[in-house]
Amino acid sequence: MSTASLAFSGAGPIAAATRERVLESARELGYAGPNPLGRQLRRGRSGIVGVVIGDALARAFRDPVSTQVLDGLVGHLGPLDLGVLLVPGSAAPDAPAVDPLLESAAMDVAVVMWGGNDDDPVLSTLQRRGIPTVVVEGRKLPGVCVVGIDDRTGMAATTQHLLDLGHTRIATVTLPMDRDRHEGPVDEARLERPMWEITRRRLDGVLDTGVRPVVVYETPASLVEHGASAGRALLGEPDRPTAVVCQSDLLASGVVLAARELGLRVPQDVSVAGFDGIELPWLAPDELTTVVQPLTDKGATLGRIVEELLAGEEVADHEMPVSLRVGTTTGPPPA
Amino acid sequence: MSTASLAFSGAGPIAAATRERVLESARELGYAGPNPLGRQLRRGRSGIVGVVIGDALARAFRDPVSTQVLDGLVGHLGPLDLGVLLVPGSAAPDAPAVDPLLESAAMDVAVVMWGGNDDDPVLSTLQRRGIPTVVVEGRKLPGVCVVGIDDRTGMAATTQHLLDLGHTRIATVTLPMDRDRHEGPVDEARLERPMWEITRRRLDGVLDTGVRPVVVYETPASLVEHGASAGRALLGEPDRPTAVVCQSDLLASGVVLAARELGLRVPQDVSVAGFDGIELPWLAPDELTTVVQPLTDKGATLGRIVEELLAGEEVADHEMPVSLRVGTTTGPPPA
DNA sequence: ATGAAAGCGCTAACAG
DNA sequence: CTGTTAGCGCTTTCAT
Q: Mean pLDDT throughout B84-97?
A: 76
Determine which of B9, B43, B46, B249 to mutate to test the interface with A (most A C-beta atoms within 10 Å).
Answer: B46
* Same domain, yes or no: B278 and B183: yes
CB A38 under 7 Å to nucleic chain D: yes
Work out how many CB contacts closer than 8 A connect A with B.
149
Inter-chain CB proximity A74 and B84 less than 8 Å: no
At A13 the pLDDT is: 76
* Nearest residue of chain A to residue B70 (CA atoms): A58
Contact A40, B40 (CB under 8 A): yes
Does the structure show a pLDDT above 80 at B122?
Answer: yes
Cα separation of A190 and A244, whole Å?
Answer: 20
Each residue of A313-333: pLDDT tens digit? 889 999 999 999 999 999 999
* Nearest residue of chain A to residue B62 (CA atoms): A64
Hey, which of A4-13, A159-168, A175-184 has the most confident mean pLDDT?
A159-168
Distance (Å) from the C-alpha of residue A196 to the closest C-alpha of chain B? 24
Q: Nearest nt (C1') to A16 (CA)?
A: C1
* Same domain, yes or no: B197 and B272: yes
* Same domain, yes or no: A68 and A132: yes
At A118 the pLDDT is: 64
* Same domain, yes or no: A55 and A125: yes
Cα separation of B135 and B298, whole Å?
Answer: 12
Residues in B 28-57 whose C-beta is less than 7 A from nucleic strand D are 38, 41-42, 44
Q: Mean pLDDT throughout A38-51?
A: 96
In a domain, A212, yes or no: yes
In a domain, A87, yes or no: yes
Contact B282, B324 (CB under 8 A): no
* Same domain, yes or no: A301 and A289: no
Cα separation of B118 and B108, whole Å?
Answer: 24
* Same domain, yes or no: A202 and A276: yes
Structure-model confidence comparison of residues A167 and A2, the more confident one: A167
User: If pLDDT is split at 50, 70 and 90, which confidence band does B91 have?
Assistant: low
Domain termination residue (choose one: B256, B276, B293): B293
* Same domain, yes or no: A168 and A278: yes
Beta-strand ranges (E) seen in B214-269 are: 216-218, 243-246
* Same domain, yes or no: B159 and B261: yes
Phi, psi for residue B185 in degrees, rounded to 5: -65, 145
In a domain, B334, yes or no: no
User: If pLDDT is split at 50, 70 and 90, which confidence band does B239 have?
Assistant: very high
Does the structure show a pLDDT above 70 at A116?
Answer: no
In a domain, A315, yes or no: yes
Inter-chain CB proximity B67 and A46 less than 8 Å: no
> Which of B67, B223, B284 shows the shortest C-beta gap to A261?
B284
In a domain, A332, yes or no: no
In a domain, A140, yes or no: yes
* Nearest residue of chain A to residue B130 (CA atoms): A32
* Same domain, yes or no: B132 and B251: no
* Same domain, yes or no: A171 and A274: yes
| % chain A with pLDDT above 70 | 96
Tell me the CA–C1' distance in angstroms for A2 and C9: 22
Helix axes A64-77, A249-261, angle to 10 degrees: 150
The pTM (predicted TM-score) of the whole model is 0.91
At B217 the pLDDT is: 98
Tell me the CA–C1' distance in angstroms for A268 and C12: 74
Query: β-strands A323-325, A48-53: how paired?
Result: unpaired
* Same domain, yes or no: B156 and B267: yes
User: If pLDDT is split at 50, 70 and 90, which confidence band does A117 have?
Assistant: low
Poorest-confidence range of A84-93, B150-159, B253-262, B280-289?
A: A84-93
User: If pLDDT is split at 50, 70 and 90, which confidence band does B6 have?
Assistant: confident
At A84 the pLDDT is: 95
Poorest-confidence range of A115-119, A252-256, B166-170?
A: A115-119
Contact B154, B203 (CB under 8 A): no
In a domain, B328, yes or no: no
Cα separation of B43 and B50, whole Å?
Answer: 18
A159: domain CATH number?
3.40.50.2300
Distance (Å) from the C-alpha of residue B226 to the closest C-alpha of chain A? 10
Does the structure show a pLDDT above 80 at B30?
Answer: yes
Q: Which domain holds residue A76?
A: 46-149+294-320
- Measured in whole angstroms, the distance separating CA A63 from the mean position of its chain's CA atoms is 9
Q: Which residue is nearest to nucleotide D11 (CA to C1')?
A: A42
Report, in ranges, which bases of strand D sit under 7 Å from a protein C-beta.
Answer: 1-14
Nearest CA to A328 out of A281, A263, A279, A284 is that of A284
At A107 the pLDDT is: 97
CB A40 under 7 Å to nucleic chain D: no
At A91 the pLDDT is: 58
Task: Determine the residue type at B119.
Answer: D
User: If pLDDT is split at 50, 70 and 90, which confidence band does B283 have?
Assistant: very high
Distance (Å) from the C-alpha of residue A279 to the closest C-alpha of chain B? 10
On chain A, the residues whose CB falls within 8 A of the CB of B108 are: none
Domain count, chain B: 3
Does the structure show a pLDDT above 70 at B93?
Answer: no
